[in-house]
Structure 1
Amino acid sequence: MSDEAELARQAFGERLRNLRKDARLKGRELAELTGLHPTKVSRLEHGRQNPSENDIRVWCIACRAETQIPELIATYRDIALMWEHNRTKLRGGMKRVQAQGTPLYESTKLLRAYESICPPGILQTPGYVRAVMQATADLYELPDDIEEATAARLERQRLLYSGRHRYSFVLEYGALNIIMGGVDTMIEQLDFLESAARLPSVALGIIPANAVRRLWGGEGFYIFDDAMVRTETFIGRIRTVEPQEVAFMARVFRTLQSQAVYGEQARKLIAVRRAELVQLRESS
């Protein structure tokens, strides 16, 4: 994913270079006209430095391409959204990150989410969220704001019951297998998934472990209406608002959806895993 963002930056730099060449300006001439250092001109054209919006404006003016300013700025804003490193994102604490995400959930009418290793955040129980936050704090060596971050994430759960939002979730069966916070925590989590699947606002599908696949499992992703797609790795998060990419990920979601079971069949899979955990608890 970071490679995709890097390629996008390089392509943007190429567009700036082509504007300069079309204006028949040398790099030093452009630097003089814009007040940019010649080294910065070179770094921007090779995608090795991020431009400011003012850099884009003065560049276009110097190249007599003022009409391209709005489109170029919009394009670069999309690129800037693409990649966000987790270490940078979490620098202000986990509570801040969770709270910042809530307005997006509030404004989204249809949330589609696929997860292969854990339940979606909005469907996580307090104990499960605490375990996730503790693991995150340990991994990234963060200050202890676990309780505050847990409360901030759980605050979104009210949206499940508001009647103003719809949710479509697809989980791999493997997402039920990974134990976070202990066996009792995971049993509680499965109980909540089973009850959430009965909510009128929620469609919960589970892809059985033995399903014949039309598409392989992969990293989780979230589609907010038809406006944005977000996915995350250990290193960072990628977001895109490019309509073609959002449409493609919606197609991916539909394919994964077609492999899932719903209703009573999904609840049976949850019950099977719950029984395994109860047996594990009794034998330990």
Structure 2
Amino acid sequence: MDIRAYLRERKTLIDAFLESYFSAPVNPKTLHNSMLYSLHAGGKRIRPILCLAAYEACVKDSTAKIEDIIPYAAALEFIHTYSLIHDDLPAMDNDDLRRGKPTNHKVFGEGMAILAGDGLLTEAFYLLSNNTQYGYHLSHSAVLRVIREIAIAAGAHGMVGGQAQDLLSEDAEPDAETLSFIHTHKTAALITVSVRSGGILADCSDYELSGLTKYGENIGLAFQVIDDILDVEGETEVIGKPRGSDEKKKKMTYPKLYGIEKSKERAKELINAAINSLETFDEKAEPLRAIAMYMLERKS
């Protein structure tokens, strides 16, 4: 399949929803502008697209459309964007560039950047729970389960816990156990729950959900391993942030522990494991398989 065309098409759907969702301004206007600055800063929308692709792979109702779950997928982008805003702050990674543009706090100040992140995180759960407007045909129990799983994946037991360990591990001697904890929590947790959420909203079987979970865990970890590699080998103009920033901040990364070549081998192993986890799925899961392969090719 033409995975680039698929990603462009799905990204267009997500972007259109994001644009319409904030058509009514948040007050004060500066907060509104700060939230939208990062939300529309050129993200690839991988997490919501994975949610849509998992839904497509599992849904049995012939009348169902992926548009039906776009609000739930978009909520994942709210959470991801909030995490980037906060991650870039001087008290965290102190980054000046994100996706080739000045980071939020460089444009709006630290206080407003913190509040923009807070606003996006909270709005995500409003969006997920707003069944009076969205997802009227979906099972309320499925929606509630998705809300619970996203909360776990995004919070102290998932992404936030990984970010905390990432900070605590700066300038520490790298070890496999700590590195695995950071990557599986900071990055893979939200990617995994994106895939699981699509399956749950499609009322997938336990067996299907197990396959989706293994897929999400493997591509989530591969995504971060590849990020670590790009920080060493990528071009600043392409990756959207200074090359070598991880080394400068003395981050614990795969190349630092294993070297570049072994890190590349590990990324390939994880991608193959992700694809193998979908062996019982039919052609409707082809986008998921293609996204996994695409990750190995990405340059940003």
Q: Could you say which TM-score interval applies, normalised by the shorter chain?
A: under 0.3
Q: Compare the two structures and name the one with the higher helix fraction.
A: 2
- Give the TM-score normalised by the residue count of structure 2: 0.27
Q: Compare the two structures and name the one with the higher strand fraction.
A: 1
- The structure whose Rg is larger is 1
Q: Looking at both structures, which has the greater relative contact order when contacts are Cα pairs under 8 Å and sequence separation is at least 6? A: 2
